[in-house]
Structure 1
Amino acid sequence: MKVLGIIPARFASTRFPGKPLVEIQGKSMIQRVYEQALKAESLTKVIVATDNERIATEVSSFGGVFVMTASTHQSGTDRCAEVARHFPDHEIVINIQGDEPFINPKQIDLLVSCFEQKNVQLATLIKKIHTEEELFNNNIPKVVINSRQEAIYFSRHTIPYIRNAEKDQWLNSQQFYKHIGIYGYTTRSLQEITKLKPSALEIAESLEQLRWIENGYAIQTKVTDIETIAVDTPEDLKKIIFKP
């Protein structure tokens, strides 16, 4: 099984322009993500997907591989689909977030292991929620799964609702999960989902994976114990740099 790891990286960002090029302890963010991805035993090849010459130049400077993509893509998934068409011999594509400079390679390997099961089309990771701060934070997508560990629904709202318990007792009443934003796709499924139109639930929650569920795709999940640290704002970067 040949697995293509793709790191979508764009320069424009509303909250943090030029984020992939920001320096973190002597290396650019995109270099740190790339080097961590290379440590994953399951990946056959790692590619940076970008539409920006400055990012492409930076990737070349540290010996990385990049593919220039269209500037019109609405999501990292769309960017991955374009790159994947250049590598038709790879059966699986892993979409690695470009704003997680210290991503653990074991998370990538765990996600790839989902495709050892038959008929898996799409996959992602989830993590148990242990604090009320996460449970009731609308910026942290929650996910509910079925008995096969397939995602039933994702929401920024806390789900499921515990009817017969006070909110301070919810963590004692139910196992809640949050979504970890790394995706895996079969090459065929990736091309299919990028042709789908935005769905009502996706627009309501601003979560593109709901488009896939609404159109009948199953999303396999696996539980990770590893925490991810994403850099969405300059303030997030300070937390990483000065973390004891």
Structure 2
Amino acid sequence: MKIIAMIPARYSASRFPGKLMKDLGGKTVILRTFEATLNTNLFDEVYVVTDSEIIQKNIADAGGNVIMSKTAHECGSDRIAEAVAFLDADIVINVQGDEPFIDKTSLSQLIEVFKEDVNKEIDLASLKVEITNQEDIENPNNVKVITDINNLAIYFSRSVIPFHRDKDISVKYYKHKGVYAFRKQALLDFYKTPMTPLEASEKIEAIRYQEIGKKIKMVETSVEAIGIDIPEDLEKAKKYLNL
């Protein structure tokens, strides 16, 4: 089973333009993410996929594998699918370009899902982390996920799910972490399918996979990623790096 990592890297970002090229301890954010992914030794190959010549040069100058997108894309899955179409791979892991501190344990757990799936019934695997703070639960920027008893995703939403009607019943809430592991064919099927109605409503790409019948296995993790979404996050990352 050939396993590769793909790091989608878009230069433009509405909340923090050019964030992937910001300096983080003498290297760019995207280069640190690439090197951290490579250093996990989990993957046969690691690629950065970008629409930016600036990012392309940064990775290529460091000797890394980088693929330039041919068309504009709305989401990371589309960008990866275009790039992976002609690559030899069985499992593709999507690593977020703005998370330079890779959680190797969680990535290993995602890979293990497919190693254990001998009948090839699982199309994707992804991560969830329990949240208990009410503000986090109600925040629409935090995508919530509910699963069945086998940890297969039932639905993703920016709304509070499940609804806690009976206060005598204990309820747990989980935030979806946007790290995916795909079978290659699931990616290609996603790419050739236009945006689906519920996906368009929620603006959550995972829903498109569900709307076209893909099974998503959720893996619980206790590790919160250090993502860089706003300038303040970059300062936190710099402090973390100096620990």
Q: Which residue is equivalent to 1:90?
A: 89
Alignment match of 2:220 (pick from 223, 240, 243): 223
Q: Which runs of 5+ in 2 are unaligned?
A: none
Alignment match of 1:125 (pick from 102, 124, 127): 127
Q: CA deviation at 1:161?
A: 0.6
Q: Which residue is equivalent to 2:153?
A: 151
**Amino acid across the alignment from 1:101:** P
TM-score by length of 2: 0.92
Q: Deviations over 1:189-208 (max 9, x none)?
A: 11011111212211111101
Q: Which residue is equivalent to 2:191?
A: 194
Tell me whether 1:241 sits opposite 2:243 in the alignment: no
| SS of equivalent residue, structure 2 residue 35 | helix
TM-score by length of 1: 0.92
Does the aligned pair in 1 maintain the 2:51–2:72 contact within 8 Å?
Answer: no
Q: CA deviation at 1:235?
A: 2.2
The alignment-based identity, stated in percent, is 37
**Amino acid across the alignment from 1:202:** E
Does the aligned pair in 1 maintain the 2:4–2:43 contact within 8 Å?
Answer: yes
Q: CA deviation at 1:40?
A: 2.6
Q: Which residue is equivalent to 1:210?
A: 207
Does the aligned pair in 2 maintain the 1:36–1:105 contact within 8 Å?
Answer: no
1:95-174 to 2 correspondences below 5 Å: 95-116=94-115, 117=117, 118=119, 119-165=121-167, 173-174=170-171
Equivalent pairs counted in the alignment come to 238
Q: Distance in 2 between matches of 1:86 and 1:61?
A: 24
Q: Which runs of 5+ in 1 are unaligned?
A: none
Does the aligned pair in 2 maintain the 1:39–1:105 contact within 8 Å?
Answer: no
Q: CA deviation at 1:240?
A: 2.2
Structure 1 vs Structure 2 CA RMSD:
1.6
Q: CA deviation at 1:106?
A: 2.0
